[in-house]
């Protein structure tokens, strides 16, 4: 009994779409029949987020993206993030499961004193997808906040929030003073608070990790996006105790990544 003779193509599509993108890629290698089904739009459409058309139409990307075969579109979105929300957010897909992955750019964050040239300046860096990132010139108290509506993200998913930044050579204020990181879902008890040092001396453990794109990231916290997601998740990074001058931090944004599962 060969399965392709027993089951109609759309049943096989349904079965493949209930596995994972990785499995679907493997299944394209099984046999001729599976090759065309596993690569079909019917399957890959199921891996794309439900509102992918809406997201792409409201992004800065050309609408011709939508005319790609769905498998190509899926991987284009995995490897080539697009800018959405008027250039304020960067969107891509998590390759393993097609979940949404956003970075809230510095422009969309509420950074205290960011519009005062004496304290912060907007610069353009080639290794950031955003037009501009915020560079800290001098503040005494640091406060960076952001919020995202939960219905923007994939439901039924665990997300991790990361603060994405760089430190320039002449920086100060981050070596010994801990920053308070806070991730909470407004209106619920879900909240995570951490205290980290962004720029510890060499003999101390580094909490920030280097990213593939050359920036640093530090985990702010985790949250779970359930099904009833009309709430907002809020993040903040704060240092407002010691009033010492701080300088030399470049903020790209806060990234919300689906947490990677290693089972299944």
Element (H, E) at 163: strand 157-172
Nearest to 109 by CA among 147, 60, 59, 140: 147
Of residues 14 through 33, those in contact with other proteins by CB under 8 A are 14-16, 18-20, 22-23, 25-27, 29-33
Angle CA 109–188–184, to nearest 5: 30
Q: Does position 262 bind other proteins by CB under 8 A?
A: no
Nearer to other proteins, 28 or 196 (CB): 28
Q: Between residues 169 and 262, which has the closer beta carbon with respect to other proteins?
A: 262
Tokens of 201: 């001396």
Nearest 5°: phi and psi at 131?
-60, -45
Segment near other proteins (CB under 8 A), from 5-13, 48-56, 216-224, 241-249? Answer: 5-13
Determine if 212 is a binding residue for other proteins (CB under 8 A). yes
Measured CA to CA, the distance from residue 72 to residue 162 in angstroms comes to 28
Q: Does 41 interact with other proteins (rule: CB under 8 A)?
A: no
Which CB, 31 or 207, lies closer to other proteins?
31
Phi then psi for 41, rounded to 5 degrees? Answer: -65, -35
CB of 210 to other proteins, least distance (A): 13
H-only helix segments in the chain: 3-6, 9-17, 21-27, 32-38, 41-47, 52-57, 70-79
Instruction: Return d(Cα 142, Cα 241) in angstroms, integer.
Output: 9
Tokens coding 180: 């308070």
Closest CA to 27 of 68, 77, 19: 19
- Which residue, 96 or 182, is less far from other proteins as judged by CB? 96
Q: Does 72 bind other proteins (CB under 8 A)?
A: yes
Q: Count CB atoms within 10 A of the CB of residue 252.
A: 27
Residues 89 to 118 in contact with other proteins, rule: CB under 8 A = 95
Structure tokens at 200: 């510890």
Token pair 């101390």: residue:
204
Q: How far is the CB of 30 from other proteins (least distance, A)?
A: 5
Residue 205 within binding range of other proteins, rule CB under 8 A: no
Single out the residue of 45, 75, 122, 138 in contact with other proteins (rule: CB under 8 A). Answer: 75
6 Cβ partners below 8 Å, 6+ apart? none
Using rule CB under 8 A, residue 126 touches other proteins: no
Interaction between residue 35 and other proteins (CB under 8 A):
yes
Nearer to other proteins, 32 or 118 (CB): 32
The minimum distance between CB 55 and other proteins, in angstroms, equals: 18
Q: How far is the CB of 15 from other proteins (least distance, A)?
A: 5
In the complex, the residues that contact other proteins under the rule CB under 8 A are 1-4, 6-8, 10-11, 14-16, 18-20, 22-23, 25-27, 29-35, 67-69, 72, 75-76, 78-79, 95, 212, 264
């Amino acid at each position: 009994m060969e399965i392709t003779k027993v089951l109609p193509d759309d049943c096989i599509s349904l079965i493949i779409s209930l596995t994972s993108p990785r499995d679907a890629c493997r299944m394209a290698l099984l046999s001729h029949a599976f090759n065309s089904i596993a690569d079909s739009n019917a399957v890959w459409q199921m891996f794309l987020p439900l509102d992918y058309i809406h997201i792409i139409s409201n992004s800065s990307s050309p609408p011709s993206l939508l005319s790609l075969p769905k498998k190509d579109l899926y991987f284009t979105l995995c490897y080539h993030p697009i800018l959405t929300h008027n250039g304020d957010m960067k969107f891509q897909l998590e390759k393993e499961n097609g979940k949404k992955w956003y970075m809230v750019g510095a422009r969309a964050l509420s950074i205290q004193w960011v519009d005062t040239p004496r304290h912060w300046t907007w610069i353009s860096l080639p290794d950031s997808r955003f037009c501009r990132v915020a560079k800290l010139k001098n503040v005494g108290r640091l406060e960076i906040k952001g919020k995202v509506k939960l219905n923007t993200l994939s439901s039924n998913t665990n997300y991790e929030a990361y603060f994405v930044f760089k430190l320039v050579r002449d920086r100060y204020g981050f070596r010994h003073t801990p920053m308070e990181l806070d991730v909470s879902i407004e209106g619920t008890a879900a909240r995570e608070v951490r205290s980290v040092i962004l720029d510890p001396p060499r003999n101390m453990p580094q909490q920030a990790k280097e990213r593939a794109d050359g920036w640093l990231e530090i985990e702010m916290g985790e949250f779970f996006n359930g099904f009833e997601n009309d709430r907002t998740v809020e993040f903040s990074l704060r240092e407002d105790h010691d009033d010492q001058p701080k300088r030399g931090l470049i903020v790209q944004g806060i990234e919300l990544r689906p947490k990677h599962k290693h089972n299944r």
